[in-house]
Amino acid sequence: MTDPSTRPTADPSATASATAVPPADEHARVEAAAAKPTAQASPIRTWLAALSEGGATRNIGLIVALVILCIVGLVTADTFATTGNVRTILTNASVIGVVTVGMTFVIIGGGIDLSVGSIVGLASVWCTTVATQSYGPFVMVLCALLVGLIVGLINGALIAYGRLVPFIVTLGMLIGARGLAQQIANLQTQVVTQQSFNRIADGSLLGVPYLVWLLLGTFAIGWVVLNLTTFGRRTVAVGGNPEAARLAGIDIRLHTALLYGVSGLCCGLAAVMLTAQTASGSSTNGQNYELDAIAAVIIGGTLLTGGRGTLVGTFLGVLVFTLITNLFILNNLSTPVQNLAKGLIIIGAVLLQRRRAETST
């Protein structure tokens, strides 16, 4: 009988090599399958799948909604198609539209910003103080942008480095920034004395108001940053899977802080536009902007959970929401009815998002 201790043992490296390399016939089969052309899918089905993946189907739905709303406006209001009303719709969409650009970045990144309206109010008050106006319109614009950027970065630092919940931080800033604006303005409206500053809202280029050009320019820059830069790809990665983004080497905390800085900067620009439009700075400026911005972003198809969204959809969402508000005003609907309808629109959009997410999984 052979001693078990003297029995030859298998070479571990040989065993590993044997298990690692597949049989020759299996290897040939895999290579042949890879070289074989895939089954030909229907061109229409492939095109629709690509559209659905890119969010274009939702955008087409928003365009259809815009057309329906325009038809309703033509039927129910005689002044809907007038040049003055169209100009009003575009200028009203411009201010809140700039705010939604920053909100889109924040929500895609997995956050939420409830303080955007208060930041607009604070920036408008700070840039219209007597001391600020004495330096001229350029300093007024710079002041509003800096105030918005700094407050946004404070939000981002508290959320990212303080590890606080975005909802709580921005809710606190909503109250605090509005209170600071009231303190600075002493609960009074500050009139803009720099007439050149007001030309931001009064002037036009090629028949289009400057405010609309600012809106289009902001969306264009935002689209380029979100779709064609590393910052945009990191935003989607952080919002979609923060842990995977961290393992990929992305500084999640710094990026989150920058996202709220972008939101604050957009609020500063919106404050400039709104202040020029009203020729005054007031602590009441920007009230309920957070609700309108979130609604427009959600209607545009951006997921509240983060990781997916488009600025094209947000732009269409802004137009849809502004058009609905304009129709309410033209048909003399009261403010409570308008707010009720807006709330139902937000809830409906969220429910639709959830249903689409469940069906896709």
The one-letter code for the residue type at 358 is: E
Q: Region 13-23: what's the mean pLDDT?
A: 47
Give the per-residue pLDDT at 199. 86
**Percent of the chain's residues with pLDDT above 90:** 34
**Dihedral sign computed on CA atoms, order 324, 61, 110, 256:** negative
Here the tokens at position 329 are 């005003």
**Tens-digit pLDDT profile for residues 227-280:** 999 998 999 999 888 888 888 888 899 999 999 999 999 999 999 999 998 888
- CA 79 to CA 25: how far, in whole Å? 77
3-class secondary structure per residue, the chain = CCCHHHCCCCCHHHHHHHHHCCCHHHHHHHHHHHHCCCCCCCHHHHHHHHHHHHCHHHHHHHHHHHHHHHHHHHHHCCCCCCHHHHHHHHHHHHHHHHHHHHHHHHHHCCCCCCCHHHHHHHHHHHCCCHHHHCCCHHHHHHHHHHHHHHHHHHHHHHHHCCCCCHHHHHHHHHHHHHHHHHHHHCCCCEECCCHHHHHHHHCEECCEEHHHHHHHHHHHHHHHHHHHCHHHHHHHHHHHCHHHHHHCCCCHHHHHHHHHHHHHHHHHHHHHHHHHHHCEECCCCCCCHHHHHHHHHHHCCCCCCCCCCCHHHHHHHHHHHHHHHHHHHHCCCCHHHHHHHHHHHHHHHHHHHHHHHHHHC
- CA 170 to CA 267: how far, in whole Å? 14
Here the tokens at position 119 are 């930041």
- CA 177 to CA 172: how far, in whole Å? 8
The CATH number of the structural domain formed by 62-359 is 1.10.3470
**Tens-digit pLDDT profile for residues 198-224:** 888 888 888 888 999 999 999 999 999
**Tens-digit pLDDT profile for residues 38-86:** 444 455 554 444 444 445 666 787 788 888 888 888 888 788 888 888 8
φ/ψ of residue 280, rounded to 5: -165, 155
Domain extents for the chain? 62-359
- Within 10 angstroms of residue 89's Cβ, the number of other Cβ atoms is 18
Place 13 in a pLDDT band, splitting at 50, 70 and 90.
Answer: very low
Instruction: Provide CB contacts within 8 A for 98, sequence distance 6+.
Output: 214, 215, 218, 266, 269, 270, 273
**Tens-digit pLDDT profile for residues 325-354:** 888 888 887 778 777 877 787 777 767 766
